[in-house]
Homo-oligomer: A and B are copies of this chain.
């Protein structure tokens, strides 16, 4: 399978970005190929399309499954396994954020709490710093947990409003500003 120029360039880009995103080149490329493919692909098609070894494809697909980024499909009358990425862009986005949080943030939050509990010897400044960092992560992950629960429709609206949202918040009290906008001249 020879890739179309569009796929080719997209696949190469994902391969290059892979290392910045915490995956390796082939994992990035496999994902890119599946993402653009209208039909599910099997491991041999991926192997041929990317010019890599069959075993590398197998490992890459396992990695993508551990990220929950690909879905397994079965084609009637074909015993091979086929793979796709979710159709819904929001589903993909939610998964990506959840998985990166799990890998990049959660372990540190756990470690910080352990350090605070265990009473390891350290100066006051260091202890205060660790507490500050933990609080920041808690604020961020707390907000994330709230947002993540919202239906996509509401999330889109909220994000589209952007900073208009902030105008609603009374700066001094932290409470929501009630009553209509524009009426308080």
A171–B154 touching, CB < 8 Å: yes
Q: Which one of A47-55, A62-70, A71-79, A155-163 is at the interface?
A: A155-163
- A18-36: CB near B (< 8 Å → 1, else 0) gives 0011100000000000011
Q: A143-B162, A166-B154 are in contact. Are A121 and B6 (CB under 8 A)?
A: yes
Contact partner of A10 among B93, B115, B136, CB < 8 A?
Answer: B115
Residues of A within 8 A of B (CB): 4-7, 9-10, 13, 17, 20-22, 35-38, 89-90, 93, 103-104, 107-108, 111, 115, 120-123, 125-127, 129-130, 132-133, 135-136, 139-140, 142-143, 145-147, 149-150, 153-166, 168-169, 171, 174, 176, 178-181
Assess whether A169 is in contact with B142, with CB atoms less than 8 Å apart.
Answer: no
Of B122, B142, B154, the contact of A6 (CB 8 Å cutoff): B122
- Grouping DSSP codes into helix (H, G, I), strand (E, B) and loop, the A interface class, with mixed when no group exceeds half, is helix
Contact B169–A13 (Cβ < 8 Å): no
A108 to B156, CA, bound (A): 21
Whether A142 contacts B122 by the Cβ 8 Å rule is no
CA distance A120 to B3 in the complex (A): 12
Interchain residue pairs A-B with the least CB separation, the first 7: A6-B122, A146-B162, A38-B125, A146-B163, A36-B126, A143-B159, A6-B120
- Please name 15 pairs of A and B residues whose Cβ atoms are closer than 8 Å in the assembled complex, sorted by A: A9-B120, A10-B111, A13-B111, A20-B103, A35-B129, A35-B133, A36-B122, A37-B126, A89-B136, A146-B162, A146-B166, A150-B163, A157-B171, A157-B174, A179-B179
